Amino acid sequence: MKNFKIKAPLFILIILCFLGCKSTTQWKGQEPIKKVSTQTVPIQRQYKGVFDLGDGIFMSNDYSGARMNGVARTNDSLLSVLITPENLPINPSPWYGFKIWSETEKDQYVKLTYNEDAFHRYFPKLSKNGSTWEALDSLRYTSVKKIFNERELAESITMKLSLSKDTLWISAQELITSSEVDGWTNKKLMTNSFVTKSTIGESNQGRPINLLKIGESNDQKMIMVISRQHPPEVTGFLAMQAFIETISGETDLAKRFRAVYNTYVVPLVNPDGADNGHWRHNYGGVDLNRDWESFNQPETRAIRDFMREKVTETGGKFYFGVDFHSTWEDIFYTISPELKGNMPGLVPKVISGLEDEFPGYKPNIRPSPGTGTKINSTAFFFFEFGAESFTYEVGDNTPLEFVRKKGEVTALKLMEQLLK
């Protein structure tokens, strides 16, 4: 079979070099994860409503995915918005989202402030309809900087917004709640006869944990895909979409793959967090990607029980597992290559395939120590089922065209390797 080649325009090649040229010093990634308590703890609930700020200006956080914990008029020209997390301690990834409109056309300054241990992370996205988004013009954006872990970050930002009677949506990233995820699965995937959807459990608030099955095999060979354990990590979700749409495509490779392997997907592991505008945790106040050993939360238990029951019922194997996330920069967190699962060498071959397809791109790979501790999903997939696995991290600001292309090519390279 001919290799799939990306015919990238020049600006994509420039982006690739910025993200990972061989001469660039690569980010070292996060510190090794540590075991923490995942017992349910209280969270802060937002007071939701429409707020009259005077001078004909109104703001609202009364919708799914919103995050605005307080708002006040500082002076005639400035509104101050407070953004606080669902609970503490927490990874400093402040999600924010609100609507604003005015009875008359005017420019209005809006300042975002955070609790003292946090900082501004996500560059504002604007929308006029809640579905089509674009970044705020950088000329309408100022910040007060501070140093956090050797990075220069903003402790607050001020936006200059052009208001009118038409609602303006402001969000940390594109707004993708449980309803948007359902819309994507129904429109893009469920129209195929080889795709089925089921519910394998419920979240703390009773939202369904939905599972997609993609394929027509006998479940002797399976792969597992999950996304959105952490609500703000939208770029990782977009990469997962491209990955799954490629596996569900009409290419000869995808058809042959679906005849041999069934792909199981939980596209939104943390629906409560996404719909409540959380920074990181579920409604139990827990980082779900630290609950893959204790299983104190219903979301992780649902996936664990499904995978165990599937293997017991069919006698089949999970050959691969991937968990899509977002972080500062593109990076792959892998299992130590010295450890052997159901298909040794699979992950290095898939990732090296990306390097072959994108000239000038050097994937950033950080293997885990391989202790056997099942704290996060990647370790659980490997040490529980022998599934070759990695955590697929996408940069917060990685250009969306590259996010999608890399998701597509990852799926192609994976299918090629699993069918060999």
pLDDT tens across 216-227, in order? Answer: 999 999 999 999
> Quick one: pLDDT at residue 26?
86
Whether the per-residue pLDDT at 369 is higher than 80: the answer is no
Give the CATH architecture of domain 50-171: Sandwich (2.60)
Q: Taking 60 as the threshold, does the pLDDT of residue 14 lie above it? A: no
Of the candidates 337, 188, 309, the one whose C-alpha atom is nearest the C-alpha of residue 248 is 188
| Mean pLDDT over each residue of the chain, to the nearest integer | 93
Strand partners, 202: 208
Q: 387, 341 in Cβ contact below 8 A?
A: yes
Catalytic residue (one of 384, 393, 401, 408): 393
Tokens of 5: 């080649």
CA angle 292, 351, 122 (to 5 degrees): 65
What is the rounded average pLDDT of the residues 225-241? 98
Instruction: Please check whether residue 49 is in contact with residue 68, taking contact to mean a CB–CB distance below 8 angstroms.
Output: no
Type of residue numbered 70: G
Instruction: Say if residues 110 and 159 touch (Cβ distance below 8 Å).
Output: yes
Nearest-angstrom CA–CA distance, 119 and 157: 9
> In 3D, which of 264, 286, 307 has the Cα closest to residue 203?
286
313 in active site: no
> Which CATH architecture does the domain made up of 10-31+176-419 adopt?
3-Layer(aba) Sandwich (3.40)
The residue ranges of every structural domain in the chain are 10-31+176-419, 50-171
Whole-number pLDDT of residue 27:
87
Place of tokens 């300054």: 109
Please say if the pLDDT value at position 173 is more than 70. yes
**113 pLDDT more than 90:** yes
> For residues 420 and 417, what is the distance between their CA atoms, to the nearest angstrom?
5
